[in-house]
Structure 1
Amino acid sequence: MSPLLSRRRFIGVTAAAAGLGLVPFGHAPRAEAHLVTWQGQAMGAVATLQVHHHDRAAAERLVERALAEVRRLEAVFSLHRDDSALSTLNRQGFLIAPPAALVELLSECRRCWELTGGAFDPTVQALWILYRDHFSQPGADPQGPPETALQAALARVGFGQVAFDADRIVLPRRGMGLTLNGIAQGYATDRVVDILRAGGIASSLVDMGELRAIGPRPSGEPWRVGLADPDHPERIGETLDLVDQAVATSGGYGFRFEPEGRFNHLLDPRTGASAGLYRSVTVVMPSAMAADALSTAFSLLPPGDIGQAVQRLGEGQVHLLTASGETIMLQV
């Protein structure tokens, strides 16, 4: 495969000569010489995993270890599984003795929530349900749900009200719920990177719905990643070079509740409105988790606020394509 990769077209990535790239669940790994390839679905996204190793058995063990970790995390974070820890929390409104990974990720959510002035907020699940239910009705009002329903949903949003520690998690209001879709894929990508590095992999491109490079390409050159043109997602609009960095892109084109695209999945926890400032927001950070969460939050913030957040972090790069077509790049 060409070293130029489109994140929208190829969530599964081929990593040449000594690494991994991530694609669907359910297929057994297969070994060809010193290459072990897995294809399946992970964290709600298509993923591929290809590990090159001088020892085929060692490569197979790395694949199995990575997949076991992804399955473990899906049992904690997935909203598509009724038996996951997160679904149980949303259903009950509390969770006793929560999994350590869930408490750790909520702690990261709290940091992102504080850094972005509340723009990153996993309690927007109430808004998601409101728009999903409204637009799934026959003859739904194209202007969106009524104001009374919107205000009722907003009353169930506010991550600052969520209490959590190693012993319990409590959602204080009936009907409140969490979604970790804006951060969990990045977290899983980082965990797979940790496993591969511990197994001796020094050059790879990992994609579990978010993308992170381990070292440079085997040739010593940076990994070259193609980002989708938001107006034509099947085309590459911009390319980035990555070495030991992660990249995540958010845009309203990713999911729309209705054909016109006025209402998308990037929901503002402060107003209930959908993001409209940018056609796309791309964040480059050392970790996939940070890139994932911040690409979501920055979609809702003006450039000045984004620049201040990046300065406080002391690292990172942000590429903004505004609604008017202007390109803005912010970095430390």
Structure 2
Amino acid sequence: MGFPVSLRIDDPGVPEEAGEAGDAVFAWLREVDARFSPFKDDSEVSRYDRGELSADELSADLVEVLDICERYRADTAGAFDVRLPGRGLDPCAVVKGWSVQRAAGLLTGAGRSRFCLNAGGDVVVSGGPWRVGVRHPEFADRLCAVLDLTDAAVATSARYERGDHILDGRTGRPVTGIDSLTVVAPTLTEADAVATAAFALGAEGVEWAAGRHGCEVYAVLPGGRVLRSSGFPTAETAAA
């Protein structure tokens, strides 16, 4: 999937049972990569994009993902779009959070109640409280916020890892009005999609994200200005 994934399970009990639950998580994520990656020619996403599969032939999982993509496209008036002109279908902005949240559901279903699942810096936790750091957008060895999270998820969209890779679907141009935008939500499906969609909206996306039910936002703008919603669960902060 192009990013590291780590899992910590803190439940008391038989270590072998926790190991089996962890194995199921990584098996599911490998399956997601094979089925939904736009970078694999034989994935369901690639085959659908080439017209080899009709909408009626898609798996229920891909239909669900595409429905989420369409909902955020409509909610942002096209700023968030997984079908940009001149590019193939790329639902990764939704698949990542959706698949990791599904993985968290596998853990819960296996009786795990206290865990932290970290997928490339986007995190879903069960139980708590857990402390989760938000990387400073300019300095890789610094944090701009530390969160106290219990039964929640956090995702960040930013320019510091992959450059100006998030495009405004309305213009096709990279978004440069935000350095990083972090969203806390009840699920990683929502946190990840809202973070990306809000980033695609530019500076106006901060208020848009903060207005969504259950979402709290922390954004760093160029020049170091910080915007945050009143309920953002920060344990401590450092100057951005």
TM-score range, shorter chain: 0.7 to 0.9
In the alignment, structure 2 segments of 5+ residues that lack a partner are 232-240
Q: What's the secondary structure of 1:277's corresponding residue? A: coil
> Aligned residue for 1:241?
148
| Larger Rg computed on CA atoms | 1
Alignment partner of 1:274 out of 167, 170, 174: 174
> Aligned residue for 1:228?
135
Distance in 2, Cα, partners of 1:331 & 1:110? 29
The answer to whether 1:324 aligns with 2:231 is no
Q: Give, in angstroms, the shift of residue 93 of structure 1.
A: 6.5
Equivalence map 1:106-185=2 (5 Å): 106-124=66-84, 126=85, 153=86, 177-185=88-96
Q: Give, in angstroms, the shift of residue 66 of structure 1.
A: 1.6
CA contact (8 A) 1:76 1:99 kept: no
Q: Give, in angstroms, the shift of residue 321 of structure 1.
A: 0.9
Q: Give, in angstroms, the shift of residue 97 of structure 1.
A: 1.1
The answer to whether 1:265 aligns with 2:176 is no
1:232 counterpart letter in structure 2: F
The answer to whether 1:307 aligns with 2:199 is no
TM (norm. structure 2) is: 0.86
1:294 counterpart letter in structure 2: V
> Aligned residue for 2:194?
294
Distance in 2, Cα, partners of 1:197 & 1:77? 24
CA contact (8 A) 1:254 1:265 kept: no
Q: Give, in angstroms, the shift of residue 68 of structure 1.
A: 2.3
The answer to whether 1:62 aligns with 2:21 is yes
Q: What's the secondary structure of 1:183's corresponding residue? A: helix
Q: Residue by residue, what CA displacement relative to the aligned partner does 1:100-135 show, whole Å, maximum 9, x if unpaired?
A: 1111111111222222222221113x5xxxxxxxxx
> Aligned residue for 1:213?
125
Distance in 1, Cα, partners of 2:140 & 2:152? 23
Q: Give, in angstroms, the shift of residue 330 of structure 1.
A: 2.4
Q: Give, in angstroms, the shift of residue 331 of structure 1.
A: 5.2
Indicate the RMSD between aligned Cα atoms, in angstroms: 2.0
Q: What's the secondary structure of 2:154's corresponding residue? A: strand
Between the aligned residues of both structures, percent identity stands at: 31
- The number of equivalent residue pairs is 228
Distance in 2, Cα, partners of 1:293 & 1:331? 21
CA contact (8 A) 1:228 1:236 kept: yes
> Aligned residue for 2:183?
283
Distance in 1, Cα, partners of 2:98 & 2:89? 16
CA contact (8 A) 1:185 1:292 kept: yes
Q: Residue by residue, what CA displacement relative to the aligned partner does 1:16-66 show, whole Å, maximum 9, x if unpaired?
A: xxxxxxxxxxxxxxxxxxxxxxxxxxx221112344551233223212222
> Aligned residue for 2:46?
87
TM (norm. structure 1) is: 0.64
Distance in 1, Cα, partners of 2:227 & 2:49? 38
Alignment partner of 2:102 out of 178, 191, 202: 191
CA contact (8 A) 1:277 1:300 kept: no
> Aligned residue for 1:27?
none
CA contact (8 A) 1:266 1:274 kept: yes
Distance in 2, Cα, partners of 1:304 & 1:63? 39
